[in-house]
Structure 1
Amino acid sequence: MPAKDIYQDTVKNALIKDGWVIWGENFHIQVDEESLAMFIDLVADELIGAEKNGRTIAVEVKSFQ
Structure 2
Amino acid sequence: MTNRPDSPSSAAAAQRALNCPRCGTAFTCDLSGHCWCMDETAKLPMPAEGEDCLCPACLRAAAVERRTRS
TM-score by length of 1: 0.25
Task: Please state which structure has a larger fraction of its residues in strand.
Answer: 1
Higher relative contact order (CA 8 A, sep 6+): 1
Mark the structure with the bigger radius of gyration: 2
